[in-house]
Amino acid sequence: MTNTGKADAPVLDIRDVRLELATGSGRSLPVVDGVSLRVGKGEIVGIVGESGCGKSLLSLSVLGLLPPAIRFARGEILKRDGQALNRLGAAGLRRVRGKEIAMIFQDPMSALNPSLTVGRQVAEAIRLHEGCSRREAEARTVALFRKVGLPRPESLLREYPHRLSGGMRQRVMIAMAVSCRPELLIADEPTTALDVTIQAQILALMKKLREEDGTSVLLISHDLGLVSGICDRIMVMYAGKIVEEGPAADVLRRPAHPYTAGLLASIPLPSKKGSKLLPIEGSVPALHERGQGCAFASRCAHAMARCTREAPAFGYAGVSHAAACHLLEEEGEIVHAIR
Amino acid sequence: MKRSLLLSLGLLLVGALALLMIVSFFYTPYEPNAMKIAERLQAPSLSHPLGTDNFGRDVLSRVMAGTQTAFLVGSASVAIGSAVGLAVGIVAGYAGRWADELLMRATDALLAFPGILLALLLVSVFKPSLSQTILAIGILFVPSFARVVRSGVLQQREAEYVRAVKGFGAGHVNIVFVQILPNIASSIVTTAALSFSTAILVEAALSYLGLGVQPPDPSWGRMLNESQTYLAKAPWFTLAPGLLITATVLGFNLLSDGIRDALDKRG
């Protein structure tokens, strides 16, 4: 795994993280297992996977927002100065949240407080970290609204969320998130609740923030087609593990894992008009069904006998492009086989 | 249409009563406690629009002065009840676990006790007086406020927006007071308006039993008590405070419903 060649430390360095779900019977089942990833300064990294693959929990674990049933079992999450977020404690985490790392969620309707004006909400977010006066916070909110492309920012301050469109609400959320100029923005499915045209606008906005402020983005999505356009690197997660990672263009052009290839084949495209969409048959194995071998073996067209016995290790499929698949060991055949 | 009708009717009644109270501070036709035995139990006339009572006191002056007692008891007991109830409800709802269990069982116990009996107990243990009455009624209101606040906090605590502001670094105090409270304000205000009318009723009941406001200070409940002997002879003496109690209770109930409907954005 490489950083994008920058000399400075990554903004986020997740090392071998394992998250467990405590079951009633006292057993704990891994929901995220052995995941490592780095986000460099100004980099946009996408985590892609279907529902239940653990991508959201992984993102929540960064800021210590895991639901009570999930335990941080192993690993480390380091921020830029080398401090481990997972050992920071409540007060320390509060200082990091919003200030160094901010997070935005899927549904901007429910993520905004229905009883406060949007201006007040953004101003509160600013005042959480910076002791400035209400008027100062308001002036900064107007500037932020302008920055995220909201129309007539002054009058918008006094509007309640229910009067705004979905795209505007998500822009308000982003304004809140970047209000204290965090180094890293974690966006958990930020466009899923929005119209297709608005989705592109929101992604373009994140790209703009990266270019203007050097904000790194960790973008979580189930939509490989969507993130491919804006990400520098892509991680594909399946059943709690990263199965493939690499530069976005590389992963899309030459997927090295059958699961990634399956995801790509299931994206509807104008060029595929008339031909059948190819879904990945079956579904993600439930937590208790995950055994020794590769979790994707039950759905994989290329599964071999050893796939169910031993978990595949990471192998290189290109320059800084890696995948966890036994097929990789038969170098050269892999790319051909899953096409 | 129906909603605004409730609200405006409630506002009208409460507004009229509030006006009556404000006027009574500066002007009553007669001194409320001035007796004139020669003019006792007079029927309503131009000089005494609502007649006189058994001591020849002007009934209009006395019910006007009674509004002061009613509003004082109402607002002070609601203030006590809502302040304590808010604190209990927030701790129980937000902290949860054993704090919730402990506080809610305690309020359950208070709730299981018949309200008027509790007020009677408190007032008779201590010396009956206006402040004891207010305190007793205030304690009576703690459980209902605590329950309303607790269920609101419990519900809002898990809301997505709370998770979102946590992600921006909000602490517990900010979450409870800046984020959650505005969302449960409507149910608190509704409960307050409803409690206000209950307070006036309970005060009237206690005073009727001779345990609330002490003579000669005018209170609607006391006036009912004093007038019952003369019910056949001087019905106006009973009707005046009786109708005012009814109007106040009705007014605050309508106001409570109206506020609830008006503030319910999703309604």
pLDDT tens digits for range A176-187: 998 988 999 999
Q: How close is the nearest chain B Cα to the Cα of A228, in Å?
A: 26
Q: Which residues of A touch B171 (CB under 8 A)?
A: 94
| Res B267 pLDDT > 50 | no
Lowest mean pLDDT among A289-298, B193-202, B257-266: B257-266
Q: What is the pairing mode between strands A12-22 and A28-39?
A: antiparallel
Q: Which residues of A touch B265 (CB under 8 A)?
A: 114, 162
Q: Which residues contact A100 (CB under 8 A, 6 or more apart)?
A: A79, A80, A182, A183, A184
Q: Exposure of B11 by Cβ count < 10 A (0-12 exposed, 13-18 middle, 19+ buried)?
A: middle
Model pLDDT, residue A197: 84
Sorting pLDDT into bands at 50, 70 and 90, what band is A330?
A: low
| Res A169 pLDDT > 80 | yes
Are A98 and B169 an interchain contact pair (Cβ–Cβ within 8 Å)? yes
How far, in whole angstroms, is CA B182 from its chain's centroid? Answer: 22
| Res B83 pLDDT > 90 | yes
| Res A250 pLDDT > 60 | yes
Model pLDDT, residue A132: 85
Instruction: List the single residue in A105, A115, A177 with the smallest CB-CB distance to B160.
Output: A105
A127 touches chain B (CB under 8 A): no
Entry field: residues in chain A: 339
Are B165 and A125 an interchain contact pair (Cβ–Cβ within 8 Å)? yes
- What mean pLDDT do residues B125-148 have? 87
Q: Which residues of B touch A99 (CB under 8 A)?
A: 169
Q: What is the 3-state secondary structure (H, E, C) of chain B?
A: CHHHHHHHHHHHHHHHHHHHHHHHHHCCCCCCCCCCHHHCCCCCCCCCCCCECCCCCEHHHHHHHHHHHHHHHHHHHHHHHHHHHHHHHHHHHHHCHHHHHHHHHHHHHHHHCCHHHHHHHHHHHCCCCHHHHHHHHHHHHHHHHHHHHHHHHHHHHCCHHHHHHHHCCCCHHHHHHHHHHHHHHHHHHHHHHHHHHHHHHHHHHHHHCCCCCCCCCCCHHHHHHHHHHHCCCCHHHHHHHHHHHHHHHHHHHHHHHHHHHHHCCCC
Q: Which residues of B touch A125 (CB under 8 A)?
A: 165, 168
Quote the CA–CA distance of A8 and A124 in Å, as a whole number: 32
Model pTM?
0.80
Are A102 and B167 an interchain contact pair (Cβ–Cβ within 8 Å)? yes
Q: How close is the nearest chain A Cα to the Cα of B8, in Å?
A: 24
| Residue numbers of A between 280 and 319 with CB closer than 8 Å to B | none
Lowest mean pLDDT among A100-109, B119-128, B238-247: B119-128
Residue A192 carries which DSSP code?
A: T
Quote the CA–CA distance of A231 and B158 in Å, as a whole number: 32
- What mean pLDDT do residues B142-147 have? 92
| Residue numbers of A between 177 and 196 with CB closer than 8 Å to B | 177, 179
Over residues B214-257, the pLDDT tens digits come to 777 788 888 888 888 888 888 888 888 889 889 999 999 898 88
Quote the CA–CA distance of A184 and A39 in Å, as a whole number: 9
pLDDT above 70: percentage of residues in chain A: 95
Are B168 and A97 an interchain contact pair (Cβ–Cβ within 8 Å)? yes
Model pLDDT, residue A231: 92
Q: Which residues of B touch A85 (CB under 8 A)?
A: none
Over residues B150-201, the pLDDT tens digits come to 999 999 998 889 989 988 888 899 999 999 999 998 889 889 988 988 888 8
Q: Which residues of A touch B183 (CB under 8 A)?
A: 113-115
Quote the CA–CA distance of B206 and B222 in Å, as a whole number: 8
Quote the CA–CA distance of A175 and A148 in Å, as a whole number: 6
| Residue at A104: amino acid letter | I
The upper half-sphere exposure of residue B151, i.e. CA atoms within 13 Å in the direction of its Cβ, equals: 7
- What mean pLDDT do residues A95-122 have? 89
Give which of B79, B78, B111 is closest to B196, Cα–Cα: B78
Chain B interface disruption, residue of A63, A103, A113, A127, most B CBs within 10 A: A113
| Residue at A156: amino acid letter | L
Model pLDDT, residue A339: 42
Are B167 and A115 an interchain contact pair (Cβ–Cβ within 8 Å)? no
- What mean pLDDT do residues A137-150 have? 90
Sorting pLDDT into bands at 50, 70 and 90, what band is A149?
A: confident
Residue with the larger pLDDT of the pair A310 and A259 = A259
- What mean pLDDT do residues A325-329 have? 80
Are A114 and B265 an interchain contact pair (Cβ–Cβ within 8 Å)? yes
Chain B interface disruption, residue of A56, A106, A115, most B CBs within 10 A: A115
Quote the CA–CA distance of A319 and A333 in Å, as a whole number: 17
Over residues A58-96, the pLDDT tens digits come to 999 999 888 888 889 899 999 888 888 888 888 888 889
Q: How close is the nearest chain A Cα to the Cα of B83, in Å?
A: 22
Sorting pLDDT into bands at 50, 70 and 90, what band is B79?
A: very high
Instruction: List the single residue in B163, B167, B169 with the smallest CB-CB distance to A129.
Output: B169
In terms of CA atoms, which chain B residue is nearest residue A95? B169
- What mean pLDDT do residues B118-141 have? 83
Model pLDDT, residue A324: 86
User: Rounded to the nearest 5°, which phi and psi values hold at A188?
Assistant: -95, 105
Residue with the larger pLDDT of the pair A290 and B161 = B161
| Res B1 pLDDT > 50 | no
